[in-house]
């Protein structure tokens, strides 16, 4: 397996994130979540807080990533990739689409570490959520190559993430190199 040893997945309304990026002044985003990622990122950057991130001349990609993190309905942080891949396989969530989650005018910057769409199909997300209880029950007998207890824990956390992502308009985004 190539790629990172961990993966982070966010359940986020990508349309809302894009709208906030293009329309909401940074100070409003910071006011809504003063200890959030946008606040932390802006504290270290020379940006006009009274303008939307999308109007920033620099740091647009970093600001968009911060907005996604702050608007996420749920996140599965720094999950061991092998255990995540096995959990995803057990619930038939499929592989990441690989499509960039950034607005078209940002792109992925050519970086191997990107924010990518894992799944935008609400029916697939709901079906996977429905399979978690059976996967958990069958796990002791499943042929898993990773620590079964770790896969169990990942499945439990994935269930929470899928519940949030099963709402219309909420997509699963992967942070990092998903190859």
Q: Of residues 156 and 143, which shows the higher confidence score?
A: 156
Res 113: pLDDT: 58
Asked if the model's pLDDT at residue 107 lies above 90, the reply is no
Predicted TM-score of the model (pTM): 0.89
Res 99: pLDDT: 86
Structure tokens at 120: 């935008």
**125, 162 in Cβ contact below 8 A?**
yes
Domain segments of the chain as ranges: 6-176
How many Å is the Cα radius of gyration of the chain?
A: 17
pLDDT tens digits, 15-39: 999 999 999 999 999 999 999 999 9
Cα–Cα distance between 55 and 33 in angstroms, integer? 20
CA neighbor of 7 nearest in space, from 156, 169, 143, 154:
154
Is 47 strand, coil or helix?
coil
Asked if the model's pLDDT at residue 1 lies above 50, the reply is no
Asked if the model's pLDDT at residue 110 lies above 70, the reply is no
Query: Taking the mean position of all CA atoms in its chain, how far away is CA 3?
Result: 16
Res 5: pLDDT: 86
Structure tokens at 22: 């293009």
Asked if the model's pLDDT at residue 3 lies above 70, the reply is no
Query: Taking the mean position of all CA atoms in its chain, how far away is CA 99?
Result: 13
Give the pLDDT mean for 112-133: 90
């Amino acid at each position: 397996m190539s790629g990172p040893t961990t993966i982070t997945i966010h359940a986020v309304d990508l349309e809302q994130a894009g709208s906030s990026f293009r329309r909401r002044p940074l100070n409003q985003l910071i006011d809504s979540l003063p200890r959030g990622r946008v606040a932390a990122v802006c504290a270290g950057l020379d940006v006009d807080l009274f303008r939307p991130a999308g109007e920033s001349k620099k740091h647009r990609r970093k600001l968009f990533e911060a907005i996604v993190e702050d608007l996420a309905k749920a996140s599965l942080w720094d999950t061991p990739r092998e255990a995540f891949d096995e959990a995803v396989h057990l619930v038939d969530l499929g592989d990441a689409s690989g499509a960039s989650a950034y607005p078209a005018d940002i792109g992925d910057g050519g970086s191997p570490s990107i924010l990518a769409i894992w799944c935008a199909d609400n029916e697939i997300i709901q079906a996977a959520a429905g399979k978690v209880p059976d996967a958990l029950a069958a796990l002791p007998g499943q042929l898993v190559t990773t620590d079964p207890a770790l896969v169990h824990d990942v499945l439990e956390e994935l269930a929470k993430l899928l519940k949030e992502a099963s709402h219309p308009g909420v997509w699963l985004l992967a942070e990092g190199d998903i190859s």
